[in-house]
Each structure stands twice: as structure tokens, then as C-alpha cells.
Amino acid sequence: MTRGDDTGQALARARRGNPTELGDNVGFVDPITFPMKIDPEEFRAKEGKPVNLALWPTRVDPCYKSREDYQKILAEHVTDLSNIQEKLYASHRYALLIIFQAMDAAGKDGAIKHVMSGVNPQGCQVFSFKHPSATELEHDFLWRTSVNLPERGHIGIFNRSYYEEVLIVRVHPEILAGEGLVDDLSRGEDFWSDRFASINDLERHLHRNGTRVIKFFLHLSKKEQRTRLLERIDDPNKNWKFSMADLTERKFWKEYRHAYEACICATSTAAAPWYIVPADDKQNARLIVSSTIVKTLEALQLEYPSTTSKERKELAAIRKQLKPS
């Protein structure tokens, strides 16, 4: 099977011999030998390649053998991430922007909570973008997220992002009426491709200036979303998570899928790749996300800053001053 081919990739990662969700289609796959090792490239959307989410699995063979094994692997990833983050912060050369997008109940909050649990809060910030404020609507669509980009040495996490402007806004174009756009700009045939181009320009600019960008689409099946929404209704401890808006947006499932397909196809680049993460298994999704983040940071080959001969002499002099009297 060709790795860049949607169908081959979906079948290669689907659960062996069991019914599997391929987007919204249920089927069976032939027995295949599966490695337990996580390869982020298996989930990366290739640049310029059409994306058909119906052919990308929402569930794959688990990367863990048991709940205990899952906790052990996640702990290892969290430790690795914590160690690398310290070097990122100390070296003060690069920044990392992590973007999460998904349908409701896909597990964005849980992934952020568990994967980033060992990260020093001093070097990490999470931003969640809801409906834009009146002030934000006075600016271009990239402004409100740009002011929250991570500084050098930091990790920034966007729980939803500027991609909402080519997702929910595309599904509900009436939102554009509140953005103060010139009529011919918002109605032109090239409107969405122009927005994709603006996003790509921003992400290439960030990459050139030391900010690495990785984007996760948590790919949830409609069946699993229903199960999770029912849990939020039936479990008193999860009632607070339920919103009627989730039910309303569920009616636009196909429209959102098409919007995501166009978005990922147009904006998954070498500088800022999209990873389509099977999300029906929350634990598995977290391991795929954590592994991808760790490997992205490892590729930077970060080291603690080295000291010059002059600095070492200064430190030696200071050390003498700290000797017990």
C-alpha cells in the first residue's frame, strides 16, 4: 500500500479483523500485522493531496496493551516532553504552536489536559477561542489569534483557532455579515482560497522565524460522538459539558466534514502539517498526539545554552563569594 494514498493508509491503520469506522462507513478489513510503535507520519496529511475523511479511520489498533500500559506510555511521553520543554525554554530560540480542531466531544480538552500535564506552566499557555468580541470583529480574521502566539522558548496551544474562520464560518456563512467585510470580498469565488492562502502565509512566516506549527484534527465518528453526548446527558458529573449547541451543530455533520477536507487539503504543508488523529479511542488519540509533539521537538535538536570562557570565569568568581564564612 502506498503511504500517501488515503485508502491504503486507512486500511493499513484500521483495526485488524474487527468492524472499524472509516469516517461514517462501517466495514471489515483483512488481517494485517500491526506494530505497536507510533509513527506520526501515518497520520500526517500529505501536502497538496486531496483529503477524503470517509477513508481515514476514526479508530485504529491501540498503541497500548492495557490501561496500565497506556498510563505507562503516556507517563514516558509526558516526561520526555517536560525535559525537552526545559531545553526549549532555556535555549530561547524556537517556539511551538499546537492547534487542536475537531467536532464537539472529540476529546480536545482531555488531550490537552493529559498530554501537557507535566509541562511547566511558566513556559506554556492554552488559549480557547470562542465567538469573537466586538473589538476582535474590527480587525482581520487572523488578528485575535496572532496576539496570542507563543513567544520564543514557549509552547502555545490553541483549542480551536483561526481555522474556525474557514470551518464554522464556511458552514454558517451568515457569520460573515458580522465581520464588516466589503460585500464583493465575501461573495467572490476565491474567498475561501484567499483565506487559505492567508493562513499558509502566516504559518510560513512563523516557521521562518522559529515557531514550529503542528495541527491536530481529532477525527471522531458520528456514532462515537452520539455515545459521548449521551454520557454527558446521563452522567450528572458530566452534565456541565453538554450544550444544546453541540446538538445543533451535529445536524451539519456532512457540511463540517466537507469544510475540514477542503481546509486540511489546502493548509497541510511541510512548514505546518495537519495530523488526522483517530479519536474514537481517547487514550490512543492522546498517545498519538503526545508522540507527535515529542518527535517534533526532538527534531529541533535542542540543547542547553553553552557558556563562554569569560562567563565561566565570572561564575567561578561568584562561586567564591558564596563560600561559607
Q: Output the pLDDT for position 23.
A: 54
What is the spatial distance between Cα 144 and Cα 180, in angstroms, rounded to a whole number? 15
Instruction: Reply yes or no on whether the pLDDT at 14 is more than 60.
Output: no
CA atoms within 13 Å, Cβ hemisphere of 172: 13
Q: Is the dihedral of CA 118, 121, 125, 127 positive or negative?
A: positive
Q: 273 lies in which domain range?
A: 6-321
What is the spatial distance between Cα 9 and Cα 51, in angstroms, rounded to a whole number? 12
Number of domains in the chain: 1
pLDDT digits (tens, 9 = 90+) for 125-163: 999 987 778 888 889 999 999 999 999 999 999 999 999
Question: pTM value?
Answer: 0.87
DSSP classification of residue 16: T
What is the spatial distance between Cα 168 and Cα 175, in angstroms, rounded to a whole number? 9
Q: Output the pLDDT for position 87.
A: 97
Q: Which of the given ranges, 32-46, 139-153, 311-325, has the highest pLDDT on average?
A: 139-153
Residue 1 lies in a domain: no
pLDDT digits (tens, 9 = 90+) for 179-219: 888 765 556 668 999 999 999 999 999 999 999 999 999 99
Residue 30 lies in a domain: yes
Residue 277 lies in a domain: yes
Could you tell me the CATH number of the domain that includes residue 157?
A: 3.40.50.300
Question: CA angle, 28 as apex, 26 and 33 as ends, to 5°?
Answer: 130
Residue 281 lies in a domain: yes
pLDDT digits (tens, 9 = 90+) for 265-302: 999 999 999 999 999 999 999 999 999 999 999 999 99
Q: Output the pLDDT for position 29.
A: 35
Quick one: which H or E segment has residue 98?
strand 95-102
